[in-house]
Amino acid sequence: MSEYVDIEFDCLPLRSVGRMDIPLDASPAFRERCERVKHALEAHGSHNTYYLYNASCTFHLTNAPELGMIQFRFEGTIMTDDGDRRTVRSDLQVELVRETCDWLTAPATDWLAGSVSQAVQVEFDRFIEAGDLEQTRQRIAKLQAEMEDRGGFVGMYL
């Protein structure tokens, strides 16, 4: 364990969302995510905005993996500057999912939950610097081109 904060997320550039309608046969979980993405688009627009989902932030308060771990689940929007070079702000919904700290208090939990946004913003800047944002854009552009070439159908379950 070399990191004190572990952050994982999937990233959806909101400019890549072409349609706002939700498939009629969508599962309840997928339907709910679509509604949240729709809300993010309405609240923040699609320019320089990214929706993070399947996301977690884990704080390690000790050097023992079985002691002092606090994990949050989060989902929401990251906004970047005009050149997509750095994170400007975030709008995240954060929820405690597990912890291994028998000394954890409610005020400390609230403070750490508030720290998730700061930690995610730092990590998103690292994501940009590593070129992962550009790779995400290229992958989505390729999928959109394939979909247009095939009349809107890429394949089963896509």
User: Does the pLDDT of residue 155 top 60, yes or no?
Assistant: no
**Percentage of the chain modeled with pLDDT above 70:** 81
Give the pLDDT band (50/70/90) at residue 154. very low
pLDDT band at 158 (very low <50, low <70, confident <90, very high): very low
Give the pLDDT band of residue 39 (cuts 50, 70, 90): very high
Give the pLDDT mean for 117-141.
81
Question: Which tens digits make up the pLDDT trace of 52-97?
Answer: 999 999 999 998 878 999 999 999 999 999 988 899 999 999 999 9
Q: What is the DSSP string of 49-110?
A: EEEEEEEEEEEE-SS-TTSSEEEEEEEEEEEE-TTSSSEEEEEEEEEEEEE--TT--HHHHH
Asked if 81 and 48 touch (Cβ cutoff 8 Å), the reply is yes
pTM of the model as a whole: 0.79
| pLDDT, tens digit, 9 for 90 and up, residues 91-120 | 999 999 999 999 999 999 999 999 999 999
Predicted local distance difference test score (pLDDT) of residue 30: 86
